[in-house]
Every structure is written in C-alpha cells, then in structure tokens.
Structure 1
Amino acid sequence: MEEITLNDFIVKIDKDKTLELYKALPKVSDKAHCGCEDCQLFAKQIQHASPEVLKFFKQFGVDPTKEAEVWRAMPNKDGFDTYSADYHFIGVIQGTDELDWIQIGEASFGLANHDGDLPSPMIPSTFSKPIVELAVRITMPHIEI
C-alpha cells in the first residue's frame, strides 16, 4: 500500500486495487448508476475542477465521475452549483478514525475509515475492507447538460 500524510496522520492506500475497481463502475451520470439531472451536471462539472482538486482525487485512485453518491446541495442561483459527494477507496487512516475537512482549491475533503458492515447500499459490492470514505463539498460554475 502507498502512504500519504494528511493532517499529520498516515493514510494507507491500495491505489492499484482502487483504480481497478473504479474501471468497472459506471459514471454517476449513467442510468446504470443514477443518471438524474444532478448527477449528470456533477459528472460534467467535476471534470473541469481545478488541477489541484483532480490531483487530490487521483492520489487515492478515485475517478471523480464515478461511484459517488451525489447531492446538489445548493442549485444554481448565482451561476454556481454546490455539491456534496461521497466516494470510497481501498485503504485505512492510521491513528484516527476520521480526518477533519481539508481545503484543496475550491473543495473541502473529509476522510473516515468505514467501519460498517458490507455489503452496504452506499458502497459498490465489488469493494472489500479496509475502506476509507472520501467526502467532498465543492462549488463549481454552472454548466448546461
């Protein structure tokens, strides 16, 4: 497992296994996952996030257009949309169960060890423990689908 340090804690990541699991998953915008308007917008918008946000996802092997449970928390009123989304990757945070919000560019990320039972309706059935939940709050310019 690869290791990175966040907020003075080590996060161990099985990036190769996570990348492999994500390959087989549909995009959140696909009917096979959800396909609702919010998911379609998010999948399109997240691809235009800042390089530092996309790099943050990439270090865990997470494809930000896939797997997530997405909520458009604040729809377009001022030309921007705010979302909350949850992702998962194979790994573990050592020394704590969760990491407080980390600001990366226009996004805030929180991480927590998943200690619930599997299978879970929020986690693809192909995932196995140890699992870290990666939550993101992000505001992005509105685009049309």
Structure 2
Amino acid sequence: MRLPVGRWLIDCDPDTTRRCYAQLPVGTGCSCQQCRNFDAAAGRTFPPEFVRLLDTLGVDPTKPAELCHWCREPSGLYLTGGWFHLVGSIVAGKDLVEWVNNVGLMRFEELVPGLKFGFTSDLALVREVFAGLPLVQLEFETRVPWVLAEPEPED
C-alpha cells in the first residue's frame, strides 16, 4: 500500500507490521520512571491524528522501539521523543535525518500542535520480530502528562 504522509510517500505493509507488533509486549522494556509513566499514560500520549496514522501503518502506539525523555516543559508536560518500526520503504521525500558535517539533523514535520514526526531509513534498535524485513523508522516528538501516583523526577 502506498501512503502519502507529509512530505513522504511510504510503501507500507500494515498487515505484516501488525503481525510483528502482536508478538511484542507493551512498552520498550525499560523500567525507568519516565518510561513507566509513558506506558501508564497510554491513550493520552499521542493526539488522535497520530494514533490514526499509526493504525493505518499497522503500528501499535503502546510499543515504541525506544523513548527519549527530554525535559519537563513549563506546561507541566514532558517532551518525549522516540520511534517505531514499520514494514515498508520510503518511496519519495527527503529523509528525516539530514547529515551535515557528520552530524545528523532531524527535519521533523508537525502533524498537529505538540506532535512532530518523520520517516527515516536510518534504523536503530530493531527488535528481532522485524528481522529480515524491509523497514522504515517513524520518529516522533510528543508531550506526555505525568500520570503515575509517585512523585515526578527531579530535573
């Protein structure tokens, strides 16, 4: 299936992607406080527009490959990045990662206020269920509320 998303044209296989995600547990496997909060905030982590995109691609929003917790913003929300893998390829559109003088610059697009995303063929931390498949990495930045009963981490 070919899907135009932002500046990209993605060739994707949602059914195979779904079968891969069905074999994975919820979360990244990390038990740090902020990753546990991300897992607990499921349903409030991503705006509906991004959840619909993930569903179209066959990606389970509760199973990111990796999370990066950047900071607590003045709004009280936590700026969080991460990525998912999906079966497919980038047919057209400039890769999310632009290399300049050996430094990777991220050229995200904003889907809705508070959520940026992009596709790259530069893969990291690919889980075994995806071994041997053609893959695209979907990176994101979002804002996550603190929902755990325990105190928030110190900055």
TM-score scaled by length of structure 2: 0.76
Deviations 1:104-142 (A, max 9, x none): 22210011124x6xxx6x011121331001111111332
Which segment is superposed worse, 60-69 or 98-107?
Answer: 98-107
Checking the alignment, whether the CA contact within 8 Å between 1:62 and 1:87 is kept in structure 2 is yes
Counterparts of 1:59-98 in structure 2, within 5 Å, are: 59-75=56-72, 78-96=75-93, 98=95
SS of residue in 1 equivalent to 2:92: coil
Deviations 1:35-83 (A, max 9, x none): 2212111122242132112112212111121142011111366421110
CA–CA distance in structure 2, aligned partners of residues 102 and 46 of structure 1? 23
After the TM superposition, list the runs of 4 or more consecutive aligned residues in structure 1 that deviate by more than 6 angstroms.
none
CA–CA distance in structure 1, aligned partners of residues 23 and 3 of structure 2? 25
Count of residues paired in the alignment: 136
For structure 1, which runs of at least 5 residues remain unmatched after alignment? none
TM-score scaled by length of structure 1: 0.81
SS of residue in 2 equivalent to 1:16: helix
Return the letter of the residue paired with 2:109. I
- Which residue pairs with 1:39 in the alignment? 35
Is 1:102 the counterpart of 2:106? The answer is no
For structure 2, which runs of at least 5 residues remain unmatched after alignment? 97-106, 150-155
Is 1:125 the counterpart of 2:128? The answer is yes
Larger Rg: 2
CA–CA distance in structure 2, aligned partners of residues 23 and 76 of structure 1? 33
Please give the root-mean-square deviation of Cα atoms over the aligned residues, in Å: 2.1
Percent identity, aligned pairs only? Answer: 24
CA–CA distance in structure 1, aligned partners of residues 84 and 14 of structure 2? 14
Return the letter of the residue paired with 1:126. V
Return the letter of the residue paired with 1:139. R
Checking the alignment, whether the CA contact within 8 Å between 1:26 and 1:67 is kept in structure 2 is no
CA–CA distance in structure 2, aligned partners of residues 137 and 113 of structure 1? 18
- Which residue pairs with 1:113 in the alignment? 121
